[in-house]
Amino acid sequence: MWKKSLCLLIPCVLIAYYCYAPIPHEIEQHWELMMIWSFMRIQMHIAPLFEMLGFRPFPLLEILVVPPTSDENVTVTDTLFNNVPVRVFVPKQKSSTLRRAVFYIHGGGWVTGSAAWDPYDELGRWMVERLDAVVVSTDYRLSPQYHFPTQFEDVYDALRWFLRKKVLAEYGVDPTRICIAGDSAGGNLAAAVNQKLLNDPEIKIKVKIQSLIYPVLQALDMDLPSYRENSHMVIVKKQQMAEFWSRYFTSDKALLEAMVANQHTPVESSHLFKFVNWSTLLPERFKKGHVYTTPIHGPSELAKKYPGFLDVQASPLLADDSTLRRLPLTHILTCQYDVLRDDGLMYLSRLRAADVRVVHEHVEDGFHGILSFGSSLLNFRAGKREVNKYLKWLKENL
């Protein structure tokens, strides 16, 4: 009898382990979110095995890939911009005037994601239908096969190609109405390429808007209040974010271990902490009695071997004020239940201090990835609400 009970108990415990998540009561559709989270946890547990066998770490997510299918409203094409794969969405209806454009960069922790994933494909279609915009959704090579700065360079190469006058004219784009947008790791890349554009003498076109959706913006301090409060939150936990960051730069586990302990920045780079000091950059309501402690310095050898985590092209929050003050109108979306919340809030503070026009939307019942959860595939009410608000804002301001 006890053997049968044990056989029943073990699978029940495993199911509970994979399904349960400490989801705040403010977030709706608990059970749906827990089911999605359990699928993601299975992915994360089998990822090392696939990596060891030489495959991409998240093969099950390939079920999200959809072909470039045109319909009565939009022509969808997969092509190359300067040898970088992109998916282009163009309105079918003829226009007597030039159209606005959105250059979009997907998220996925630099390790997964694709412009061909169903939520990103649908977002591109919605932008065409509601904004009457041309949309370029770019891909980039992923870690662990490729490390920084490959992802940044791929996105920048595709963007520079798109911003050529000949290409904009081919797609009927108004060069004064261009937005560069991205979510999560894509928000990181959007912020980084916007900064680099400022000093590129070959690019004469000025971007009108940068839109950063729950962006990850710094790799120096992983002990922010948002990391503490949401360390075990669904979608992206503190441990996962450390893994995403470390994989972005190297497969060496030494960097991951140092990042998890928040002991990876060498003493000679301690001057950079002023750019990410949450005790001075976060609004009072987000400090919530947290006590700031200066991160413990790590060995210089790590920074010498993997200098990328100290590079402004990987951590846009490290940009100086002279760079920030030249940036365009900026839209930042943050979510309360997200380890990356404070990255966006600190960038918001720094941009406002540099007299940049910034529009901030904070989703009180939001979690990381909420816009993707508004897709027809996932069908979360809060996600649909936020997608509608986001597209309305873009239409009014781009």
User: Who has greater pLDDT, 31 or 298?
Assistant: 298
Please state, in angstroms and rounded to a whole number, the distance separating the CA atoms of residues 255 and 64. 31
Predicted local distance difference test score (pLDDT) of residue 9: 45
Q: Which CATH superfamily is domain 71-219+311-397 in?
A: Alpha/Beta hydrolase fold, catalytic domain (3.40.50.1820)
Please state, in angstroms and rounded to a whole number, the distance separating the CA atoms of residues 232 and 217. 20
- 8-state DSSP, 117: B
What's the rounded mean pLDDT across residues 340-363? 98
- 8-state DSSP, 65: B
Global confidence as pTM: 0.93
- 8-state DSSP, 354: T
Please state, in angstroms and rounded to a whole number, the distance separating the CA atoms of residues 182 and 215. 8
The catalytic site residues sit at 184, 338, 368
Give residue-wise pLDDT tens across range 83-132. 999 999 999 999 999 999 999 999 999 999 999 999 999 999 999 999 99
Do 151 and 112 meet the contact criterion of CB atoms below 8 Å apart? no
Task: Locate CATH 3.40.50.1820 in the chain.
Answer: 71-219+311-397
Comparing 6-15, 26-35, 140-149, the range with the smallest average pLDDT is 6-15
Please state, in angstroms and rounded to a whole number, the distance separating the CA atoms of residues 46 and 278. 35
Do 108 and 184 meet the contact criterion of CB atoms below 8 Å apart? yes
C-alpha closest to that of 337 among 18, 15, 25, 13: 25
Strand order in the sheet with 74-81: 74-81, 84-91, 134-138, 99-105, 173-183, 209-213, 329-337, 358-367
Residue 75, Ramachandran bin (φ over 0: left; ψ between -120 and 50: alpha; else beta): beta
Beta strand 209-213 with 329-337: parallel, antiparallel or unpaired? parallel
